[in-house]
Amino acid sequence: MENCPFCSIVKGTGDVSLVFEDTWTMAFIPLQPIYAGACIVIPKPHIDHFTDIPDELAAKVMITAQRVGRKIREVYKPLRVGMVVHGFGVHHAHLNLIPQYDPLDITYKHLAYIEAGEVKFAPKELPTPSRAELDEMARSLRIEHG
Ligand SMILES: [Zn+2]
């Protein structure tokens, strides 16, 4: 799909710090990883809602997420690897793999604050590593196909 940053990555025209790729899926480091080792897993076809991914492709996405999750555990040694699908931001279905060192890490709790009685988040507080640093994270998790 035009103007979709994840489709650009799939087509090879967008910058990416690639962790894994096979025929149907890709895994890469987000531009603002909440922790080192955070990863995004996508199906290659442009599908907006993850609930619309066909069964066989959904299984492939989950298998990639598990493989990458095992590698995150091996390299970064979090207590758990969690997964979030919020569906906002890029409208191309994606799973966010989150290394967790605390039960509330999945909620991005260290970015939360209360203003006028509402819980808000400060995404500007997310780290913004350089491309070289993102590439280094990707290298640490890289899984060759097969
Ligand atoms: Zn797309």
Domains of the chain, by residue range, sit at 5-141
* The predicted structure's pLDDT at residue 42: 98
The structural architecture, per CATH, of the domain 5-141 is 2-Layer Sandwich (3.30)
How many angstroms is it from 130 CA to the middle of ligand 1? 24
Residue 68, token pair as written in the block: 């990458």
* The predicted structure's pLDDT at residue 145: 66
Contacts of 119 (CB under 8 A, 6+ apart): 112, 113
Helix (H, G, I), strand (E, B) or coil at 129: coil
How many angstroms is it from 7 CA to the middle of ligand 1? 4
* The predicted structure's pLDDT at residue 7: 97
In whole angstroms, what is the distance from residue 82 CA to residue 66 CA?
10
How many angstroms is it from 74 CA to the middle of ligand 1? 30
* The predicted structure's pLDDT at residue 48: 97
In whole angstroms, what is the distance from residue 120 CA to residue 6 CA?
27
How many angstroms is it from 48 CA to the middle of ligand 1? 7
Could you list which residues have their CB under 5 Å from ion ligand 1? 1, 4, 6-7, 46, 92
* The predicted structure's pLDDT at residue 122: 77
Residue 34, token pair as written in the block: 């909440």
In whole angstroms, what is the distance from residue 46 CA to residue 7 CA?
7
HEC profile of 7-73: HHHHHCCCCCCEEEECCCEEEECCCCCCCCCCEEEEECCCCCCHHHCCHHHHHHHHHHHHHHHHHHH
pLDDT per residue, tens digit, the chain (146 aa), is 789 999 999 999 989 999 999 999 999 999 999 889 999 999 999 999 999 999 999 999 999 999 999 999 999 999 999 999 988 889 999 999 999 998 888 887 777 888 899 988 777 778 889 999 999 999 999 998 65
Contacts 24+ apart (CB under 8 A), 124-133: 126/32, 126/33, 126/34, 127/32, 127/33, 127/34, 128/31, 128/32, 129/33, 131/15, 131/17
How many angstroms is it from 12 CA to the middle of ligand 1? 12
